[in-house]
């Protein structure tokens, strides 16, 4: 007997039709066949008369969409239905009518193939897999957090407890196809966070994202904590930025501290730089097709002073100017200067921006 029936009031099971042909396991994940046009029972009832039909066309509210389930596949990860409940269907092959636990935040038995740590391990459904495992880009969707510490699952898939709640994770992907908001003329926003805090002490942050890497992945330019990409295939009617960030200062009194629209920092400790390696708090990269671009229309940085207020006093400020460069340049002697390098690591040419009194 399934001891969750009476001992787990949050666990909720529903009956569905598994239309796959694989062996059925307790705790295996299934997804709704959201794009099916197959009729549920092969007929249509109208005024008590049953008419034999095999399909219910798209747009006609096909009843099979919320009844038929299948193994996770490329195009159904957005339609996670739940995990198979223990029953007489386990160990048999489909198609079969069976019960599944729906993902409502309850702790239920799941089948997985990775070792777990209670309250820590993230579990995901994966294309062509009948077990929960680690999330893999483009082929997985996180749906649960382990509720039990268990080893040995990485060698032989088995049952463990997990909190089944895909809403803890952000996933908006359909087989690599971008979701659509159709055509609009107004400002379109898909995800929005707006919060206000009256606090006078402590830190206030609308969104806090932290990532810690303990292995040695090859990032190849991808962000660890955050990666964004903007693909523009249309013609933009005005200024456009892949990422736009604004800080509006409307303080009720005099500004007594430093304010930054964007702060980027990097701290390094415990490691030695090898030959021809760089550490930089900010890297700017660009590639322009010169055959289609104006000869004087692309720059690494553009400065724009908006509005009628005071313009900046200078291009930039440095808190430790004397420490930037202590060695004089070969062609110019300056009290202080900023050096910059152009070229590949290990083969750069060094140039200088003089700061202060220049003597030649």
Please give the chain's pLDDT, 360 residues, in tens. Answer: 455 656 678 899 999 999 999 999 999 999 999 998 888 777 777 778 878 888 888 888 888 888 999 999 988 999 999 999 999 999 999 999 999 999 999 999 999 999 999 999 999 999 999 999 999 988 999 999 999 999 999 999 999 999 999 999 999 888 878 888 877 778 888 899 999 999 889 999 999 999 998 888 888 878 889 988 888 888 887 888 889 998 888 877 788 888 888 999 998 887 777 777 778 888 888 887 767 656 667 778 887 777 777 777 777 666 554 444 444 445 555 556 667 777 776 777 777 776 655 454
- What whole-number distance in Å separates Cα of residue 79 and Cα of residue 173? 11
pLDDT on residue 320: 53
Q: Which residues of 223-249 are buried (b: 16+ CB within 10 A; e: fewer)?
A: eeeeeeeeeeeeeeeeeeeeeeeeeee
CB 99 within 8 A of CB 26: no
pLDDT on residue 113: 97
C-alpha pair distances (Å), 215 with each of 212, 218, 267: 9, 10, 19
pLDDT on residue 300: 82
């Amino acid at each position: 007997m399934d001891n969750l029936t009476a001992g787990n009031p949050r666990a909720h099971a529903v009956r569905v039709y598994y239309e796959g042909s694989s062996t059925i396991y307790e705790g295996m994940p299934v997804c709704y066949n959201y794009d099916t046009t197959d009729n549920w029972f092969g007929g249509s009832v109208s005024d008590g008369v049953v008419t034999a039909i095999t399909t219910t066309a798209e747009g006609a509210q096909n009843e099979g969409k919320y009844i038929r389930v299948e193994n996770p596949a490329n195009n159904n990860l957005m339609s996670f239905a739940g995990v198979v409940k223990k029953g007489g269907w386990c160990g048999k092959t489909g198609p079969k009518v069976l019960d599944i636990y729906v993902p409502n935040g309850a702790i239920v038995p799941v089948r997985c193939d990775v070792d777990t740590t209670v309250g820590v391990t993230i579990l995901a459904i994966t294309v062509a897999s009948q077990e929960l495992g680690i999330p893999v880009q483009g082929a997985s969707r996180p749906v649960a957090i382990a509720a039990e510490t268990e080893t040995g699952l990485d060698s032989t898939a088995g049952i463990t407890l997990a909190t089944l709640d895909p809403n803890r994770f952000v996933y908006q992907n359909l087989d690599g196809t971008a979701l659509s908001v159709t055509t609009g003329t107004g400002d379109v926003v898909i995800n929005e966070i707006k919060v206000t805090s009256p606090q006078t002490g402590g830190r206030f942050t609308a969104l806090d994202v932290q990532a810690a890497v303990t292995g040695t992945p090859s990032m190849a330019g991808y962000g660890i904590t955050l990666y964004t990409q903007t693909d523009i295939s249309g013609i933009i009617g005005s200024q456009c930025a892949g990422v736009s960030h604004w800080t509006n200062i409307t303080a009720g009194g005099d500004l007594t501290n430093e304010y930054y629209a964007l702060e980027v920092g990097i701290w390094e400790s415990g490691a030695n730089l090898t030959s021809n390696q760089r550490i930089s708090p900010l890297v700017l990269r660009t590639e322009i097709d010169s055959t289609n671009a104006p000869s004087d229309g692309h720059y690494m940085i553009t400065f724009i002073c908006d509005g009628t207020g005071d313009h900046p006093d200078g291009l930039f400020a440095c808190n430790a100017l004397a420490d930037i460069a202590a060695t004089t340049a070969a062609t110019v002697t300056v009290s202080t200067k900023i050096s910059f390098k152009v070229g590949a690591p290990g083969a750069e040419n060094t140039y200088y921006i003089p700061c202060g009194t220049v003597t030649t």
